[in-house]
Amino acid sequence: MRSKAVFSIIIFFIFFLPEGSALENIWFSATPPDKISKKIHYGMHGQAYVKGEDGIGKKILWIRSGHFPVESPYADGASKKKPAFFILSPDKKIIKGELSHGLPGYYLTFEGNLEGFYNLYLIEKFVKKEILNIITAKTEVISHKCSRGHGGMKKKMAPKILKQAICFEILRKRIPGEDFHTFLSSGDKVTFKVFFNGTPLKDSKITFKTQKGWGKSLKTNINGEAVFQIIGDYYPDWKKLNQKKIHTFLITAEHTVKKTGTYKGIIYKQIHYTGTLKGCYIPSKALYSSSLHGFFLLIFIIITTGVFIYFHRTRRRKPFKEYTFNEKD
Amino acid sequence: MKKIRTFINNSNLARFRFYFQIVAFILFVYGGYLSITISERLPVFACPFNKVSGGTCYLMPLQHQLHITLNRFASSGGLHLLKGFLIFAGLSLIFSKGWCGYICPLGTIQDWITKARKYLHISFATYDKTIFDHLKKIKYILLFLIILIPIGVKNSFVGLPVLPHDIFPPFCKICPGRILLPLFSGNTSQIYIDFSTKTAMFMTASGIIVAGIFITGAFVKKRFFCLFCPMAVLLFILSKVAFLRLNKDGAKCTRCGNCYRVCDVGIREIADDITNKNIVKDDCIMCFKCVEACPENKCLTVSFLRIPLFTSTETGFFKRYTRKSHTPPDSRSVK
């Protein structure tokens, strides 16, 4: 009964979305604007959070609009109504959050203390050139504390979709052996799956953009999947290297359906769905690290200590000497 | 009941231990394949860097729980630290230092290396008392650093800068378990040197060097690494109240020195101390070879919750050492 009520509320929001500010290609960003970056704390996987007056930490994400992670401006819609949003908790329940506006744009805050991934969605709808644009920004926010233990990790790690409310959605499949402590890194092959009305969508255009703007577009296969390898695009001087520097990647998928109708009294002839998914990655673990050097050092130490012990023992070994005692003496 | 007790006392514990260690090794090194996670606060080196490990060594969460700001020790951080220690203590109380002798995968590897040395007829090394007394202090220093460094990474003391993060977790970085245990599941990813920063380079190279010394050391000295193991200190502190005990009746001891000769770690007090009842020392791994090698009736007794499990008997001693397959105690004179 309760779930039906929640579902009804979601449907209400979907079909009667407040008039937005026509934010194009919106996506969630965990990078705070420069002006307020000092007030922000960072937790696991570089997740930003703010501390309320009650001392409780709230996860915070900003809404940005654009196609490139670095250059995209913070989405500003001060004079317009707020877009709709949903937060899906690890136990698959819609939870409360707060979408606020401040300089320089929208930000979403919520309390997330359950172990696992929270899915965040923000939906924007507008008609432009007789096309109804439905943009769904999505991101996954991890919540984990080692002190809570690591039991049932596989279940908590499982990616999920919100098919009751989100008709066009991108899902990131977990890489083999991924756990709460895993960072995606340059070199990893990551599979993304596009869903339309809860079923995998074939031949959808999907684009991958790295922090520095490198991009690649593919079409999804019969299972709605596309695989991208995160390229290495971070090569600073040795002294400036930050092995744990968190970069953002942005996935955008598109799909068009020919369908006529009206939205807020405006006629449209087709619906264009855009889905974005923000993720993060760190430089390759192999960057500036060498297994070969490690292996040679290991062999060198074994041989050196072995030879040392051998000569130490040989040196201490006394040659056989026969002593004859003359009992008369 | 009496027959069962006689059977146990006359049994070949070394053989039982050999098979027990194999089972424990499979459980703790490959348990992940069966989705087994025994605990994340284990008093043995079940290394989490081995992705298919059946549990997690306590030193890893301990370092993480100490890696907090000082004010958090008085709140949730302190509670988590306490909770983690209580779980560890609970597990330690059951088997005490038996975790080292029977379960620890790193200990088992050392025993297997010792077997390889025996097979090659290479003699083993011993320390003289002065060196032994000096070396055994290393584990206390390591434990002190395990506690201090994680705090120092997060906090500044007397205006000094915080320690570089690449040093964290300090013990895991130099632990031979991190290098060697993943190898048993075909994972060579931990054999590397990280050149990204000077600290990372120093720590990863140190880890490789320690692993190399571990292999050669274990080849010439029985249970070489156990003398430096900081986990042994924690287990020793808790062994005073543990359920599993090793007791000695000094009045029955003839100071023949058999117990010292067979001791893998070389604890001299096992032969010399005739006053203390609880004979477990900080280096003891509770392998109970001393009980097997003791020819005096009820001189050495292994008990669990004060119920005797295994007792030294004259009959048992002669039965064990007259078996053709069993090697007599290594000849080592009591200095």
Burial of B119 (0-12, 13-18, 19+ CB in 10 A): exposed
CB pairs under 8 A between A and B: 80
**In chain B, what are the domain boundaries?**
14-233, 243-335
- Nearest residue to B65 (alpha-carbon basis) of B164, B154, B181: B154
CA B132 to mean position of chain CA atoms: 17
DSSP H or E run through A26 = strand A26-29
Q: How many residues does chain A have?
A: 329
Closest-CA distance, A18 to chain B, in angstroms, reads 42
CB atoms within 10 A of CB B149: 19
Q: Are B163 and B149 in contact (CB under 8 A)?
A: yes
Contact A289 B194 (CB under 8 A): yes
Measured CA angle at B147 (ends B146, B152), to 5 deg: 100
CB contact under 8 A, B125 and A147: no
Supply φ then ψ for residue A302, to 5 degrees.
-60, -45
Residue matched to tokens 């064990």:
B320
- Residue A12 pLDDT: 45
DSSP for A255-299, written as a single string: EEEEEEEEETTEEEEEEEEEEEEEEEEBS-TTTTEEHHHHHHHHH
B86, two tokens? 């209580």
pLDDT recorded at residue A2: 55
Burial classification of residue A57, based on how many CB atoms lie within 10 Å of its CB (0-12 exposed, 13-18 middle, 19 or more buried): middle
Residue B75 forms contact with A (CB below 8 Å): no
The span from the CA of B278 to the CA of A74, in Å, is 69
Cβ distance B196 to A243 less than 8 Å, yes or no, reads yes
Chain B partners within 8 Å of A301 (Cβ): 208-209, 211-213, 216
- pLDDT recorded at residue A14: 45
Q: How far is CA A284 from CA A111, A185, B330, in A?
A: 31, 5, 51
Query: Closest-CA residue in chain B for A238?
Result: B196
Closest by Cβ to B216, choosing from A289, A297, A306? A306
Measured in angstroms, the CA of A293 and the nearest CA of chain B are apart by 6
pLDDT the model gives residue A21: 47
Contact A76, A105 (CB under 8 A): yes
Whether residues B64 and A146 touch (CB distance < 8 A) is answered with yes
- Higher confidence at residue B304 or residue A286? B304
Residue type, A159: P
Scanning every residue of chain A, which has its alpha carbon at the shortest distance from the alpha carbon of B201?
A289
Res. A249: pLDDT tops 50? yes
Reduced to 3 states (helix: H, G, I; strand: E, B; else coil), residue A150 is coil
CA distance B221 to B228: 13
Q: Which residues in chain B are contacts of A297 at CB distance < 8 A?
A: 193, 205, 208-209, 212
B179 touches A: beta carbon within 8 Å: yes
Interface test with A, best of B153, B196, B199, B202 (most A CBs within 10 A): B196
8 Å CB contact between A20 and A61: no
Residues of chain A contacting residue B51, judged by C-beta atoms under 8 Å apart: 177
* Closest Cβ opposite residue A294 in set B37, B193, B215: B193
How far off is chain A from B110, nearest CA to CA, in Å?
Answer: 15
- Region label for A25, one of left (φ > 0), alpha (ψ between -120 and 50) or beta (otherwise): left
The string of DSSP letters for B83-141 reads: HHHHHHHHHHHHHTTHIIIII-HHHHHHHHHHHHHHHTTPPP----HHHHHHHTTHHHH
Q: Which residues contact A313 (CB under 8 A, 6 or more apart)?
A: none
Which pLDDT tens digit goes with each residue over A1-55?
455 555 555 554 444 444 444 567 889 988 888 766 667 777 777 778 887 766 6
Say if B183 is an interface residue toward chain A (CB within 8 Å). Answer: no
CA atoms of A301 and B136, how far apart (whole Å) = 23
Task: Supply the mean pLDDT for chain A.
Answer: 85
Q: Is A141 helix (H, G, I), strand (E, B) or coil?
A: strand
Nearest CA in chain B to A301: B212
A169, A185, B150 from A202: Cα distances, Å: 13, 27, 50
> Residues of A with CB below 8 A from B212's CB?
297-302, 305
Distance CA A299, CA A91 (A): 49
Q: CA of B288 to nearest chain A CA: how many angstroms apart?
A: 29
Residue numbers in A near B57 (CB within 8 A): none
Give pTM, 2 decimals. 0.80
* Candidates A288, A298, A299; nearest CB to B196: A288
Tell whether B191 lies on the interface with A, counting CB pairs under 8 A: yes
The tens place of each residue's pLDDT in chain B, 335 residues long, gives 888 989 999 999 999 999 999 999 999 999 989 888 899 899 999 999 998 999 999 999 999 999 988 988 988 889 989 999 999 999 999 999 999 999 999 999 999 999 999 999 998 988 888 999 999 999 999 999 999 999 999 999 888 899 998 999 999 999 999 999 999 999 999 999 999 889 999 999 999 999 999 999 999 999 999 999 999 999 999 999 999 999 999 999 999 999 999 999 999 999 999 999 989 999 999 999 999 999 999 999 999 999 999 999 999 999 988 865 555 555 444 43
Whether ipTM tops 0.85, in short, is yes
Predicted pLDDT of residue A211 = 87
Residue where the block lists tokens 């001299």: B268
Distance from CA of B186 to the nearest CA of A (A): 14
CA-nearest of B67, B86, B87 to B77 is B67
CB-CB neighbors (< 8 A) of B209 in chain A: 297, 301
Give the C-alpha distances (Å, rounded to integers) separating A198 from A169, A171, A221: 8, 11, 16
The Cα B117–Cα B60 span in angstroms is 31
Q: Give the CB-side neighbour count of residue A10, counting CA atoms within 13 A.
A: 21
Residue A282's DSSP bridge partners are A185
The average pLDDT across A145-150 equals 74
- Taking the CA of residue B131 and the nearest CA in chain A, the distance in Å comes to 16
Contact B212 A301 (CB under 8 A): yes
Distance CA A179, CA B59 (A): 20
Share of chain A above pLDDT 90, in %: 45
One-letter amino acid of B157: F
Sign of the torsion formed by the C-alpha atoms of B262, B267, B273 and B278: negative
| Contact at CB, B193 and A290, closer than 8 angstroms | yes
Give whole-number Cα distances, B239 to B52, B243, B250, B281, B328, in Å: 30, 8, 20, 9, 29
Judge whether B331 is closer than 8 Å to chain A, CB to CB. Answer: no
Chain A interface mutation, best of B131, B153, B191, highest count of A Cβ atoms under 10 Å? B191
Q: Which helix (H) or strand (E) holds A205?
A: strand A205-209
Q: Which of B60, B51, B11 has its CA nearest to residue B29?
A: B51
Query: Scanning every residue of chain B, which has its alpha carbon at the shortest distance from the alpha carbon of A313?
Result: B125
Residues from chain B contacting residue A147 (CB–CB below 8 Å): 61, 65, 76, 80, 83-84
Place of tokens 């072995």: A306
Q: Which residue has the tokens 């008085």?
A: B74
Architecture field, domain B243-335:
2-Layer Sandwich (3.30)
Q: What is the mean pLDDT of residues A249-265?
A: 93
Helical segments of chain B, H only: 2-9, 13-30, 59-66, 76-95, 98, 105-119, 129-135, 138-154, 170-174, 176-180, 198-220, 230-239, 258-262, 269-272, 289-293, 314-322
